Amino acid sequence: MSAEIREVGQESIPQIAAVPIRFTVESVLRVVEIDGGLGGLALREEPLRRPYVKDYDQYDDESPATWAERFDVSKWGFFLAREGETPVGAAAVAFDTAGVDILAGQKDLVALWDIRLRPEHRRRGVGTDLFARAIEWARAKNCRQLKIETQNINVPACRFYARQGCRLGAIDRHGYGGDPRVAGETMLLWYLDL
């Protein structure tokens, strides 16, 4: 059975939150300076001796349950993938929303705020289908670009975005310096022209 993907409203955020976002970190992308940084930066994948599980939903301020409290989500797009009645994946795109820094106040930019899949449904095309629906939605809003933030510890996500045609546009080694929970992670910003 393949997943059915539908656009849903913000009333479905609890169903989105029911889909886990956790993943096992088995390798990281280390930032390597070329010529002291003057020649640019490169990423080198390094396996971890001790893999660990990362779950962004463990942080109360990152969980979908807090989105509507923190932002006006009335202009956002929400997509839910179901097999039968079971939510197996979800995506959210942020658009034209005050306080969402990644949007930089641009009216022609959309951010892939969240994409999540149950572990047993990964690598089955559901993520690609959710991504495609988000792109269709953004184009219908006359957006010119999609922006995605991820981290150097989420190598599978980075590979996924590259396969979708996204380009790595920024590496910020100090992007999370103010948050001790993730201060050691590197912010990676991906872009897709629409």
CATH number of the domain bearing residue 71: 3.40.630.30
In the structure encoding, which two tokens stand for residue 116, read together? 């999540």
DSSP code of 161?
H
Q: Under a CB-based contact definition with an 8 Å cutoff, are residues 110 and 143 in contact?
A: yes
Q: How far apart are CA 184 and CA 173, in angstroms?
A: 8
- As a whole number, the mean pLDDT across the chain is 93
Identify which has the larger pLDDT, 12 or 124.
12
State pLDDT tens for residues 105-127: 999 999 999 999 988 878 888 99
Residue 59 predicted with pLDDT over 70:
yes
This prediction has a pTM of 0.93
The DSSP H or E segment spanning 185 is none
Kindly calculate the radius of gyration of the chain based on its CA atoms and give it in whole angstroms: 17
Domain limits for position 153: 4-193
Residue-wise over 170-191: b if at least 16 C-beta within 10 A, else e? ebeeebbeeeeebeebbbbbbe
Total domain count, the chain: 1
